[in-house]
Structure 1
Amino acid sequence: MVVEHPGGPDVLHERELPRPEPRDGWTLVRVMAFGLNRSELFTRRGLSPTVRFPRVLGIECVGVVESSSDPDLLAGTTVAAAMGGMGRQFDGSYAQYALLPTAQLMPVTSRLPWHVLAAVPESFLTAYGSLEALEPRPGHRLLIRAATSSVGMAALALAAERGVEVTATTRDPGKAPKLLRHGADHVLVDRGGGLGEGVRAIWPDGADRVLDLVGGVTVLDSLRLLAPGGRVCNSGIVSDDWIIPRFEPLEDIPSGATLTTFSSSSVNSGDWARRALQEHLHAIDEGGRRVLVDRVFPLAEVAAAHHHMEANRAVGKVVAVVQHS
């Protein structure tokens, strides 16, 4: 599915392209399924300044090794991949085959079907990395903004194991029951204009930790919600706003508080992601954790999947599966 030029979902078109040829340092992967991400909507609109078109989008995938110059990466090995320039600097996962840097492939073992496995890599690793940055301790009060996003739902599942009390936010009151079923202790409906009154009604002293997945427009409000010595981690931009408007650090960051970030591009730095991903998949296989797949589309209907995401209908991960003849 190729984007020839920026635009709405309908600029995604099915094209027959030559199968990529593996070369030193790169491995040909037969893509079986992939999760979709809001950053791909951003890129499709032409708002990622480094991306040149035409481009095959897709920043993550799961599949099997088709061929590789790496003798340790045998054909048929199940792998996951995320970020590292996928779908931006080079063609990504919206295809039957993807030529990917060998160094960023993560061999995995799992009993999960492809459409469930595809919901895990980017969302779980971002949630895991964000919680590591926040360092919540048992008894802490954690606010997750945009909790119905795929990263938010993954963070809910992980936070439930850390003994923290969680308040989740959503703009849609109809999504509140699902958040409560998946680990939230409280749900706040975000109607814009700040969450101060709602958060203080639950926690008079404020939140110890805030995972802000909305982005620039809410970060300052998140800082105002903190208890003394609290911490905010901004790990998403579901608002599509990268910039914090009128940000004055000395005024806007409370004394003793911390503002940090976690970028999912970090998943290709070191071996932590491979270890964490395999441990997470083992926990899912054993029934200790859940993966929330919102909806599954075939590759040819990726444009419809983009429409679905842009309408904010999803709770959890939107996934596409790839058919091979």
Structure 2
Amino acid sequence: MSATMRAAVCLGPGGPETLEVREVPVPAVRDGWSLVRVMGAGLNRSELRTRQGHSPNVVFPRVLGIECVGVVAASTDPAVPEGTTVAAVMGEMGREFDGGYAEYALLPNALLMPVATTLPWDVLAALPETYLTAQGALDALDALGAGPGGGRLLVRGGTSSVGMAALSIASAHGLEIAATTRQKDRIDALAAAGAAHVLVDTGGSLAEDVRAIWPEGPDHVLDLVGAATAVDSLRLARRGGTVCVAGSLSGWAIPDFQPVAMIPSGTRLTAFHSDDLKGAAGAALLRRIVRQVEAGVYRPNIDRVFALADVVAAHRHMENDQATGKVVLIP
């Protein structure tokens, strides 16, 4: 193994140009941490916010990347020996310590999720954060237990990577799905991903369009847009329905949120954070997801694959909302 590696280093808060591919030392293994040769890293919008300077306590320069897949190159955990294929998500990757935008990542053993698979690296890299978040959010909604014809699901932010994964999972469980997009040229992609109804979100309330499909409203709303649409989503859900906020495409905070005034009586508001499924908590679920992708039941929904050298272009592509599905970086 060489003593140095290539890594995309974020030099400080700012635009995509603050990312620079550099030759840096390979991290030294220490107790409780193992070295992973990164074979792929899914890109996430939270990394845009970190790069822009919106993640508290991040010290620059920093190698971003809240997830990666690869092979253990040097292990301090007998349960995950060298040569094991692993995935890792969250746990302050790319924030408190360097993450997946590199040829190697030194990761806490507690984050490593062993997985045996024949999937290509770009496909495997598209799954962990995206599918674990989608599955966790749908479970928080309690949306998957009724079986075919047992539920109506609205996905706001349907062309996001998590949105596309949620469509794949929910359609496999027989839910009737409506999904939103702001761009008419993405209607066909959402329909192909499993949406029976596609709504073009022009920035106002979706009430008229939703009521035309479901007069009583959807049973479940998965809101991946977040702060800007959460209150409207609460008004769209049927009485007794549930809204789960699991994304922040529009930011983190709902201004002047007044629960009693803004949550209709009987409607439930919940959330899901993918940090809940890091490490051992998500390992079995990830293996189950991988088997479903291998069987063709779930789709990886890859938008584009970029080389590490093209990380600036990858961030511009993501930041300009050009992606439909997952953007993957291959070192």
Number of equivalences: 320
Residue equivalent to 2:167: 156
How far apart, CA to CA, are the structure 1 residues paired with 2:183 and 2:234? 23
Residue equivalent to 1:171: 182
Structure 2 counterpart of 1:35, which letter?
A: G
1:257 aligns with 2:267: yes
How far apart, CA to CA, are the structure 2 residues paired with 1:307 and 1:281? 29
Residue equivalent to 1:278: 287
Report sequence identity in percent: 57
Match of 1:295 among 287, 304, 309: 304
Q: Secondary structure at the residue paired with 1:14?
A: strand
Residue equivalent to 1:48: 55
1:207 aligns with 2:218: yes
Structure 2 counterpart of 1:180, which letter?
A: A
Question: Could you list the per-position Cα deviations for residues 266-297 of structure 1 after superposition, in whole angstroms to 9, with x for gaps in the alignment?
Answer: 1127x341111101111111222211110000
**Is the Cα–Cα contact under 8 Å of residues 172 and 298 in structure 2 kept in the other structure?**
no
Question: How far apart are residue 41 of structure 1 and its match?
Answer: 0.4
Structure 1: which 5+ residue stretches go unaligned?
Answer: none
Q: Secondary structure at the residue paired with 1:227?
A: coil
Question: How far apart are residue 72 of structure 1 and its match?
Answer: 2.0
1:218 aligns with 2:229: yes
1:74-113 superposed matches below 5 A = 74-113=81-120
Q: Secondary structure at the residue paired with 1:65?
A: strand
Q: TM-score, normalised by structure 2?
A: 0.95
Structure 2: which 5+ residue stretches go unaligned?
Answer: 1-7
Q: Secondary structure at the residue paired with 2:194?
A: coil
How far apart, CA to CA, are the structure 2 residues paired with 1:283 and 1:206? 30
Residue equivalent to 1:20: 27
Structure 1 counterpart of 2:156, which letter?
A: R
How far apart, CA to CA, are the structure 2 residues paired with 1:289 and 1:158? 6
Structure 1 counterpart of 2:40, which letter?
A: A
Residue equivalent to 1:310: 319
Residue equivalent to 2:194: 183
Question: Could you list the per-position Cα deviations for residues 185-230 of structure 1 after superposition, in whole angstroms to 9, with x for gaps in the alignment?
Answer: 0000000011111111111111110000001111000000010100
Residue equivalent to 2:67: 60
Misfit runs of 4+, over 6 Å: none
Residue equivalent to 1:117: 124
Residue equivalent to 2:257: 247
Structure 1 counterpart of 2:329, which letter?
A: A
Q: Secondary structure at the residue paired with 1:15?
A: strand
Q: TM-score, normalised by structure 1?
A: 0.97
CA RMSD of aligned residues (A): 0.9
Q: Secondary structure at the residue paired with 2:50?
A: helix
Question: How far apart are residue 251 of structure 1 and its match?
Answer: 1.1
